Amino acid sequence: MLNGGSGAGKTTIGRTLQSSLDGTWLLLGIDVFLWTLPPAMFEDAEGIVFEDGVVTRGARFLGLYAQYQLAVATLVAGGADVLLDEVLLGAATDQLRWREALGDNETHWVGLRCGPEIAGAREEARGDRVAGMARQQASSVHEGVHYDLQIDVGVLDVVQSAAAIAQALEERWSIGGLRRSTGPLEPSVPSAFASGRSGQSAPWES
């Protein structure tokens, strides 16, 4: 479980791990779920609303997301290795929701921390994110969350961060990987947090 705010590099780190860890890993998470939603659920109080850098989730959204979490748990229970690229907007509350959904499935919780100034600068440089979201999420998504590993992604680059995670997985589950320097990878799936998100086609429809 890779948890971090906007601009923390979760997807890029996830892709790096996916390309280098032993075995076949699925990369899932909040962006994958958002791509499945009908456009009408964006900017709807019952769905998901982005305003002044704050993301608000309605009851309809949370109900569907709970079902998505159970689907992920089913994949894991069936033997799939899964990397989750997450933004725990509810922090400790969202961690509890994931723990309940995953049940007895073992999870290695990784916090990808990035200072508000660095996250904000990345957001401005990209120009495709909701303004103010990165700074707002830099601390809020980590409040009360318990981790097995925490990484300052404002200090370590993508390869160093992925190597630290790979080492932790090897120590815990004997999963090898990242034996060589792979270099940063550009995510092949664009973020669903991008501006104009409700009007975009899913990557597989392009």
CATH number for the domain that contains residue 104: 3.40.50.300
Which residue out of 31, 44, 104, 128 is catalytically annotated? 31
Give me the sign of the Cα torsion angle 5, 73, 185, 129: negative
Q: Is residue 67 part of a domain?
A: no
Quote the Cα angle for 47-70-24, to 5°.
Answer: 110
Q: Is residue 153 part of a domain?
A: yes
Q: Is residue 103 part of a domain?
A: yes
pTM of the full structure: 0.83
Q: Is residue 69 part of a domain?
A: no
- Is pLDDT at 48 greater than 90 in this prediction? yes
CB 53 within 8 A of CB 133: yes
Please state the domain count of the chain.
1
**Do strands 54-57 and 48-51 pair parallel, antiparallel, or not at all (unpaired)?**
antiparallel
Domain range for residue 23?
2-29+81-186
d(CA 187, CA 46): 30
Q: Is residue 15 part of a domain?
A: yes
pLDDT band at residue 179 under the 50/70/90 scheme: low
Q: Is residue 137 part of a domain?
A: yes
CB 1 within 8 A of CB 110: yes
- Is pLDDT at 46 greater than 70 in this prediction? yes
d(CA 50, CA 6): 13
How far, CA to CA in Å, does 68 sit from each of 29, 74, 98?
Answer: 9, 10, 10
CB 10 within 8 A of CB 23: no
Q: Is residue 201 part of a domain?
A: no
d(CA 141, CA 3): 8
Q: Is residue 146 part of a domain?
A: yes
Residue 94 falls in the annotated catalytic set = no
- Is pLDDT at 192 greater than 80 in this prediction? no
Higher pLDDT, 42 or 198: 42
